[in-house]
Amino acid sequence: MTSLDQKINKYFAGLVVHKDLTKTIKGNAIVPSYVLEYLLGQHCATDDEASIQSGIETVKNILTKHFVHRNESELIKSTIKEKGRHKVIDKVTVELNDKAGVYEAQFTNLGLRKVQVDSDYIKKHPKLLVGGVWCIAELSYQPVEEVKQEPWHLESLKPIQVAHVDVDQFLTARKEFSTEEWMDVLLQSMGFNPEMFSRRGKLLLLVRLIPFCERNYNLIELGPKGTGKSHIYSEFSPHGILISGGEITVAKLFVNNASGKIGLVGYWDCVCFDEFAGKDKKVDKNLVDIMKNYMANKSFSRGIEMLGAEASMVFMGNTRKSVPYMMKHSNFFDELPDKYIDPAFLDRIHFYNAGWETSPLRSELFTSGFGFIVDYLAEVLRHLRNQDFSHAYQKHFTLNSEITTRDRDGVQKTFSGLMKVLFPNQNSTKQEAEEILAFALEGRRRVKEQILKIDETFASVTFSYTDLESNKETEVTTLEAKQYPTLVRHDRTTAPQQSEELPLDQHDAPFATVKDSVKAKPGHLVVPENSKGYGFRRLFAAHLRGARQISVQDPYIRAFWQIRNLMEFMQLIHELTPEGEETKVVVLTKSDPDRCVEQEDNLRKIQESCAGSRVSLEYSYDNTDGFHARSITTDTGWKISLDRGLDIFQRYEISPFSLATCVQEERLTKAFEVSYLVQSAQ
C-alpha cells in the first residue's frame, strides 16, 4: 500500500475499500458501484489480505445467489416458488394503486409487478415511489386459488445504503490530512488515480461532487465524449438519479397535476440530465419555463399551490467542435437544443465546468488504491447540505461590487460547495480560499461570457475580487481566454479576428503553426495549467532556427515520457535543419539511480536513430547536487530558460490512434514558464 492508503485505513478503518475490488467482483452485473461497495463494506473493509480474499468470495457468492440478471429472472422465480422464499438484489419501484388503496412494487430485473408493499416501507423510504431504489428484498410464493390474487409476497425490504454515519468522526479525521492528501483521497474514492491529474484537473473532477452537498446547485459540463461526465451521477450516490437521453416530462420531473404526485425534484438530492446536448431532441417549452422558475426560486407550482424542493440540477452533454472554433464562430452552449439556448435559462446556471480539459477515460486513469465506500462519502456530503460556507472567503476577500446578485450567488454556491468537499472544518488557509474563490469566479464567468454572445441586452461584468489586507484587486479570466485571446470578442458587433503573426514570446501568441517569418524576440511566457496549443514548435522554433549547435541542460531526462519528449525535440530540430546542413544537440542530464540502465539504453537508442541524419545527439551526466537549472542555449546567441525543462505535458494516452500522441498541441500542459534571453553568440 502507498503511504496514503495506509493513512486512510488508519483514520477511516472499516469505511474504506480497495477500489480494484469493485471491478473484480462486478463482472457482468449491471449494478451501481455504491451497491457493490455497500456489500464490500460489509465484508472487505480492511487492509488484511486474507480477510479481503475471504470477503471477496463472500460478496461473489451473495451476487451469484441473490443478484437478479434479466436473463435469469425465470430461474429466480422458480427458486422462490420451490424454496417458498428467497432474497434478491434488484431495483424496486413502487406505485400507489389508488383504486385498491395499496402500494405495489415492480422489480426491474426480476420482472415482477403488483407485489404489495406495506405502507411503513414507503414512509421510511419515499424514493421507492420515484425512480426506484436498489434493495435487498425477501420474496415468498404462496399458491392462490383466485386469478386476481397475487402469489408473490414481500416479506422484507432493505434499501442498500450505509445505515449510520458519524459526521463528527469524519470531521476529526479530516484534520489528519493535508489538502493535497485529501484531494487524492477524494479522487481515489471517485475511482480515479490522482497521480494522473494536475491540481486544476482534480478541481474539475471535484466540482462534480458539489450537487450532492449543495442544495439547488445548477451545474453544466459539456465536453468531448468518453470523459466520464455522467459516471459520478450514475454510480456514486443513492441520492442522485441519472436521466439518460435528456428528455423528460413536466409531470415526471416536477408534478403531475392530474394525480398531484410530486416528481423527481421532490425526492432526490441531485437530478442529472445525461446526453443533454443535441439539436434533434424534442423539448417542451413549458418544461423549460418551469425549470427556469425552479432553478431561480427553488419552487414550482401544483395548480394554485407553490411547492419547494432542494434538488440540484446537473446537465451533461457532448460537444463536437473544438474550443477555438466555438469561440470564433458560435458559443459554448451551441450544442444544446434550441429551446434551452435561452439566456434566462442559462443565467440560472451557477458553474460551467470545462469538460474539454478532462482527458478521455483510459485504464491508467483509474485507481488501484483505497478510497471511501462511496455510499459513506455520499451520506457525509448529504449531511453537509444543511450547512452554508458561502461567506467563508469574506474575512480575506471581497467581490467586485459590479457583480450582479445572480452572478454573486453562482460564485458563492460554488465556493461553498468546494469548501464542503475540501475543507468541511472550514480550516482553509487564505491562499486555499483564494484558489477556490478564483475557480468559482472563472466557472461563472464562463457562463456569463457565453450569454453575452447570445443576448446583447445582458450587461458585461468584471469578475474580480479584492484582497482586504493588501487592497489589491485581481480580475479572473477563463483559461480559454488566456489561451486564445485573439478569439475573444471584445465587443458585441465585431467578430474576433485571428492575428496572422504575433511574436512567439508574447503570452497572447496564437496557437497557429509558427511561420518562418516570425522573428525571435526576448521575453517571458507564462503558461497556465491545463492549457492546450503549446508544442515545442511554438515554444522554440523561432529561437532555434539557424542554430547548428544546441545545448540542452535538464537534470530530469530520466523517465520514459521525459526521454520521449527529448525525441520529439530532436524531431523539431530535424525539421528546422535545411537539407545539406547538420545540427548537433548536446544534452546534459542527471543519471537516475533507480533506472539508470533503462535511461542509458533509451538515450543511446535516440543517438543511434539520429546517426547519419541531419541532426546528431551527444549526451553526458552531471550528478552534482548543484545541477538544477534547466535551459536551452544556441550558437546563435539565444538562451531559453525553462523552469520545467522539456517536461511540460501532463500524461496522455500513448497510442497510434490518439491525436495527443501525434500532435503536441492537443496535449494538456503542466503550469510552466519560459524566458527568452539574448547572450553573445558563440
Fold for the domain defined by 523-678: Endonuclease; Chain A (3.30.870)
Strand, helix or coil at 669?
A: strand
What sign results for the dihedral spanned by CA atoms 501, 505, 508, 512?
positive
Residue 533 has pLDDT above 60, yes or no: yes
Alpha-carbon span 319 to 221, nearest angstrom: 10
Place 545 in a pLDDT band, splitting at 50, 70 and 90: very high
What is the chain's mean pLDDT, rounded? 89
Cell of 537: 514548435
For 183-195, what is the mean pLDDT?
94
Strand, helix or coil at 612?
A: coil
Place 358 in a pLDDT band, splitting at 50, 70 and 90: confident
Cα 506 → chain centroid: 31
Q: How far is CA 381 from CA 256, 559, 619, 664, in A?
A: 30, 39, 53, 39
Cβ atoms within 10 Å of 308's Cβ, excluding its own: 12
- Cβ distance 51 to 255 under 8 Å? no
User: What are the extents of the domains in the chain?
Assistant: 70-159, 165-380, 386-487, 523-678
Alpha-carbon span 522 to 533, nearest angstrom: 21
Alpha helices in 337-373, H assignment, sequence order = 343-346
Cell of 189: 474514492
Place 246 in a pLDDT band, splitting at 50, 70 and 90: low
For 317-324, what is the mean pLDDT?
91
DSSP strand pairing (299-302 vs 255-256): unpaired
Place 504 in a pLDDT band, splitting at 50, 70 and 90: very low
Strand, helix or coil at 681?
A: coil
Question: Which DSSP string do the residues of 364-393 spell out, in sequence order?
Answer: GGB--SEEE-HHHHHHHHHHHTT---TTGG
Phi, psi (5° rounding) for residue 225? -65, 155
Residue 512 has pLDDT above 50, yes or no: no
Alpha-carbon span 617 to 601, nearest angstrom: 14
Q: Which residues contact 612 (CB under 8 A, 6 or more apart)?
A: none
Cβ atoms within 10 Å of 453's Cβ, excluding its own: 18
| CA dihedral of residues 557, 561, 567, 570 (deg, nearest 10) | -60
Alpha-carbon span 185 to 198, nearest angstrom: 14
pLDDT score for 24: 77
Nearest partner of 92 among 118, 71, 74, judged by Cα: 118
For 369-475, list the strands marked E by DSSP: 370-372, 397-399, 464-467, 473-475
Nearest partner of 450 among 335, 565, 303, judged by Cα: 335
pLDDT score for 28: 63
Place 506 in a pLDDT band, splitting at 50, 70 and 90: very low
Alpha-carbon span 584 to 573, nearest angstrom: 9
Residue 682 has pLDDT above 70, yes or no: no
Cβ atoms within 10 Å of 64's Cβ, excluding its own: 10
Alpha-carbon span 566 to 647, nearest angstrom: 9
Alpha-carbon span 485 to 499, nearest angstrom: 10
Q: Which residues contact 46 (CB under 8 A, 6 or more apart)?
A: 13, 14, 52, 55
Alpha-carbon span 26 to 64, nearest angstrom: 11
Cell of 17: 475499500
Place 496 in a pLDDT band, splitting at 50, 70 and 90: very low
What sign results for the dihedral spanned by CA atoms 669, 672, 677, 682?
negative
Provide the CB-side half-sphere exposure for 654 (13 A, CA): 8
Strand, helix or coil at 134?
A: strand
Place 154 in a pLDDT band, splitting at 50, 70 and 90: very high
Residue 680 has pLDDT above 70, yes or no: no
> Which residues face 88 on adjacent strands?
137
Cα 505 → chain centroid: 32
pTM for this structure?
Answer: 0.82
Q: How far is CA 35 from CA 236, 237, 655, in A?
A: 9, 9, 34
pLDDT score for 508: 41
The percent of residues in the chain predicted with pLDDT above 90, rounded, is 64
Q: Which residues contact 41 (CB under 8 A, 6 or more apart)?
A: 14, 15, 17, 162, 373, 375, 376
CATH assignment, 165-380: 3.40.50.300
Rg (CA), the chain: 29
